[in-house]
Amino acid sequence: MRFNFKLLSIFLASPVFAYIDQPCYKGSQQGVCVPKYSCNSTGQTAKYERYAGSYPNWPCPNDPDDVICCIKSVTKLTTGETLKTPGVCINTKNCNLNKNYLANTAECPGSNNVKLCIPNSNKSTGGTTGGTTGGTTGGGTVTSSCPTVRNPNATKSGKSKAYESLPQIFQNEGGCQNMSGDPGNWYQGQLGYTCMGVTPQTGWTNRSYYNYALNKCSYNSVLFVKCAYDLNKDKFQEGTANLYEKLFGSIAGCTNLPQPAYFVCLDYSLNGPYRTKEVVANNPIGNRDSKTYARLLNSISRQDFKDAVANNSNLRQYLQGWMNRCDAREKYINNYC
Ligand SMILES: *[C@@H]1O[C@H](CO)[C@@H](O)[C@H](O)[C@H]1NC(C)=O
Ligand SMILES: *[C@@H]1O[C@H](CO)[C@@H](O)[C@H](O)[C@H]1NC(C)=O
Ligand SMILES: *[C@@H]1O[C@H](CO)[C@@H](O)[C@H](O)[C@H]1NC(C)=O
Ligand SMILES: *[C@@H]1O[C@H](CO)[C@@H](O)[C@H](O)[C@H]1NC(C)=O
Ligand SMILES: *[C@@H]1O[C@H](CO)[C@@H](O)[C@H](O)[C@H]1NC(C)=O
Ligand SMILES: *[C@@H]1O[C@H](CO)[C@@H](O)[C@H](O)[C@H]1NC(C)=O
C-alpha cells in the first residue's frame, strides 16, 4: 500500500520495493504481505483477515495497492486434520523454532518463504512476534558540537530531534493544502486539509497528539487538522513530530540515534519503516560518529532507490527526485555540526 502525503508525492507516490512475502503487522498480530486474492482459497476454513490498513500506517507500505497484509490462523487443514493449537502463516524467518515448527501446507499464501508456523507438537501455546512500542521524543539539550551515542537527544535547536527534522522532511515549513484531487484530503465524504503531511483522518484519529486543540477544534472532525494548525503552528509541529516518531521513527529504530543520523533515519523510514528497521538492525551505529553514520544510512537508502529502478524501469521517472532528496540529506548532514 502506498503513502499519499501530497508534499512527499514525488518521493513516495510509487510502490518502491517488492516486499511480497515480507512480515507485516496489525498491532501484535503478524501476517505476510501478499496480493489480496491469495490470502484465502476456496474450500479453506482458516480464520483470516485481509488487512489493508490506512494512511499513514500501511502494513505493506512498499507494495502495490493490491497487496495487503494477510493475517491467517489455521486450525483445520484442507486435508481434514485438526490442529490442537492453531498455526499461523508467517515468513519462515520469523517462526521461533524453539517453540514452533514449520509445515508446508496448502493453507499459506505466498512463495516458499511463507509457511505454517505451528506450536511444537501442536500442543503448547506459542506466539507470533511483533508489536511495536513507541513514545514521544525527548526534548533535546542544545549542543553546538556533534551529538554522540552517549548524548543521543542533544540537538542544535534545543527542540526534539523529530521536531527539528520536520521542516527538512517537508523541504519547507509544511503548510496546509486542500486539493480536491488528493484522496488523502477526503474524510467522511468531505474535503479537508492536510497539514505537514497529516491528513484529516490521521489527525482526527490521533487527536490525542494535539491536546491543546481538543476543546476548540473537536467540533468538526474533518477540519480538526486545519483548525489545530491555525490555532498554534508551533504546537501543531510538536504534536506532529511526536506522531511521526511514533508511526515511523520508533518502528524503524531511529529513536536512540544522535542527530543528524536521526533525521536521515526518520526521513528514510517514511518510505517504509520496516525496511529502515532492517537496515538499522543490520548496521548498528556502534562506535561511528553521528555524521559518518548518517552518511552510511543515506548511502544505503540511495542504493535502495537505484536498485528499485534497476528492477523496475517504470520507476526511472522518480529517480532524479529521489537522488535530489538524498543530496539534500547530505547537505543537512554537512551543515548540522
Ligand atoms: C475464504 O474463506 C471463507 C471461510 O472463512 C470461505 O467461506 C470463502 O469461500 C473463502 N473465499 C474464497 C474466495 O475462496
Ligand atoms: C499435529 O500434531 C499431531 C500429533 O499431536 C501430528 O500427528 C500431526 O502431524 C501434526 N500436524 C501437523 C500439520 O504438523
Ligand atoms: C532520549 O530520548 C528517548 C525518547 O524520549 C528516551 O527513551 C531515551 O532514554 C533518551 N536517551 C537519553 C540518553 O537520555
Ligand atoms: C480550499 O482552501 C481555500 C483556502 O483556505 C479555501 O478558500 C477554499 O474554500 C477551500 N476549498 C474547499 C473546496 O473547501
Ligand atoms: C493514528 O493514525 C493511524 C492512521 O490513520 C491509525 O492507524 C492509528 O490507529 C491512529 N492511532 C491512534 C492512537 O488513534
Ligand atoms: C532487485 O532484484 C534483485 C534480483 O532479482 C533482488 O535480489 C533485489 O532484492 C531486488 N531489489 C529491490 C529493491 O527490489
Cell numbers at 243, concatenated: 506522531
Ligand 1 binding pocket (C-beta < 6 A) is 40-42, 44-45
Q: Residue 240 CA: which ligand is closest?
A: 5
Q: Which of 182-191, 202-211, 223-232, 247-256 has the lowest mean pLDDT?
A: 182-191
227 Cβ contact list (under 8 Å, min separation 6): 213, 216, 217, 220
Q: Ligand 2, atom 11: nearest CA belongs to which residue?
A: 83
Question: Between the CA of residue 212 and those of 42, 177, 230, what are the distances in Å?
Answer: 51, 22, 12
Contact 90, 32 (CB under 8 A): yes
Taking the centre of ligand 1 as the mean of its atom positions, its distance from the CA of residue 109, in whole angstroms, is 14
Q: What is the mean pLDDT of the chain?
A: 83
Cβ of 74 below 6 Å from ligand 2: no
Contact 294, 323 (CB under 8 A): no
Angstrom distance (rounded) from CA 42 to CA 251: 35
Q: Residue 77 CA: which ligand is closest?
A: 2
Beta bridge partners of 174: none
Q: Residue 229 CA: which ligand is closest?
A: 4
Question: Between the CA of residue 40 and those of 26, 74, 91, 161, what are the distances in Å?
Answer: 18, 11, 16, 43
Mean pLDDT across the stretch 265-291?
93
pLDDT band at 21 (very low <50, low <70, confident <90, very high): confident
Cβ of 103 below 6 Å from ligand 2: yes
Choose which residue among 118, 122, 123, 124 to substitute to test ligand 2 binding: the one with the highest number of ligand atoms within 8 A of its C-beta: 122
Q: Residue 119 CA: which ligand is closest?
A: 2
Q: Which residue has the cell 479453506?
A: 44
What pLDDT score does 19 carry?
A: 65
What pLDDT score does 9 carry?
A: 34
pLDDT band at 144 (very low <50, low <70, confident <90, very high): low
Q: Ligand 5, atom 7: nearest CA belongs to which residue?
A: 57
Task: Give CB contacts under 8 A, 24+ apart, made by 207-210.
Answer: 209/239, 209/240, 209/242, 209/243, 210/235, 210/236, 210/239
Contact 211, 181 (CB under 8 A): no
pLDDT band at 141 (very low <50, low <70, confident <90, very high): low
Mean pLDDT across the stretch 106-130?
72
What phi and psi values does residue 15 have, to the nearest 5 degrees? -65, 125
pLDDT band at 40 (very low <50, low <70, confident <90, very high): confident
Angstrom distance (rounded) from CA 174 to CA 189: 25
Q: Which of 21-25, 186-190, 306-310 has the lowest mean pLDDT?
A: 21-25
Query: What pLDDT digit, counting tens, does each position of 49-75 carry?
Result: 999 887 767 788 766 777 889 999 999
What pLDDT score does 103 carry?
A: 92
* 321 pLDDT more than 70: yes
**Ligand 1 atom closest to 47 (CA):** 5
Contact 297, 265 (CB under 8 A): yes
Q: Which of 78-82, 212-216, 316-320 has the lowest mean pLDDT?
A: 316-320
167 Cβ contact list (under 8 Å, min separation 6): 173, 174
Beta bridge partners of 190: 187
Taking the centre of ligand 6 as the mean of its atom positions, its distance from the CA of residue 43, in whole angstroms, is 34
Taking the centre of ligand 4 as the mean of its atom positions, its distance from the CA of residue 179, in whole angstroms, is 8
71 Cβ contact list (under 8 Å, min separation 6): 26, 29, 30, 31, 48, 49, 51, 88
Contact 59, 26 (CB under 8 A): yes
